[in-house]
Structure 1
């Protein structure tokens, strides 16, 4: 914690800062995907597989998370499998479904690629108290829920 007092900020300033973060993140994701030989959508889907951990996702789960059709997720999984990022395993409870598992070597590659960025973020987090981190975490969680709501509204408007 650096103890530096932070000046008050308005909601407009916070939105501007958020927009800058999102833009930097999108550009960074494009570059990261390129370096890893993937598309941004493929990298995003691999991220969902990683987040699921040992609770392997089905192709349908992945389609829902990525907001793509099951046909599109088949293409994504084909590319990820060819590139050595995932394997498909039979679902033990339903022979018609497959589960998606991350390949350990690919996990190591991605962790190494993101390592420096996450180290810098951990250093940044050290500037904040646990209470401030709780506020930051709450804000990100609630803003993510709002982003999902906005996306759902756009989908409803488009289909309506």
Structure 2
């Protein structure tokens, strides 16, 4: 009986300590970006699902073979996208895709990325939107920098825009028309 009373006292003490911790813990403020003027998108356009994560690779065939032969993923053929200065391969996953990027020539933005990151690495994330034109207008009003004046056709044959990494927490964000 004494051991039971000791156990109840220990639990009561722990519950009391937990209650004190809950009431004395400081409130955590929401994470904010450097621009406090960012607002949640209004009803004009909506953010959709993650379309892909793009990875710049120095050797496209080697990277393609790794995902296909080593990991067993379903992988597309190499597709040149001259409008963006890249060749791409899509690695299909159950819930999204990975886009392997390789430069088409020395003027490609991916060539510059690979000069700074010899082994390659994550380049951008792509998120679908339901209205690319409304998103462009809205984001410009919110002072988010867009890397091209107008949307361009991306690797999926749909309009895309890129948002400046300095306005997106250090991540290059691509928006694609759903």
| Same fold per superposition (TM over 0.5) | no
TM value normalised by structure 1: 0.28
Larger radius of gyration: 2
Q: Which structure dedicates a bigger proportion of its chain to strand?
A: 2
